[in-house]
Structure 1
Amino acid sequence: MRARIEQQILLIHQDDVPQYKKNGSVVRNSYFWALKAIAAQTNRFRDWEYDSEVWLALQRMLLAFTESSYLNLRETQLEFPAEYDIPAILKPVATWE
């Protein structure tokens, strides 16, 4: 998931967040609701925002969904631009584009 940080807010690109589908996979829908539950702002037409206070929870959640092997790595890993210094708390679940 493409990500960036602005003023201590983690932003996940709107096209990369999971979508809720009424008759979709239970795992994908659970992932959607879990990400939505800890987000500061979610909007269908904007990037999702996460305050720094929830980064540890986000990291643990992304690790849990990654370890489940139901979702592919591109769906559970944060991808930062090459010039970014990834915060230590997010390094276990992040890489560079």
Structure 2
Amino acid sequence: MQKHTLLLFDLDETLLEGGWFKEGIIKTLQSHPSTRDIDAELFLEKKLRVPKSLVTQFKNRELTPHQFRRARWKHAFSCFNLDPDMTTIDEINELF
């Protein structure tokens, strides 16, 4: 049996980020009524800069992957003084 030397978990598809990720965020924000006026480039920057406190909570299993994903979106929106409810966040995540 072959041994694996490395196993990666791609949370929210951020490890394999590429042009498709940026394009996906921009299209998602442009297509949802509550985010059409957001600067998508700046939003992407905020979404990629995950606060260490969230990462720590996730690593300590205080957040599930679903909660972590929601918290990342919520954090990025807070940088624009927006506070969407979880239903809206889930809708936007599904669009993405």
TM-score under structure 2 length normalisation: 0.29
Structure with larger Rg: 2
Q: Which has the higher strand share?
A: 1
Q: Which has the higher helix share?
A: 2
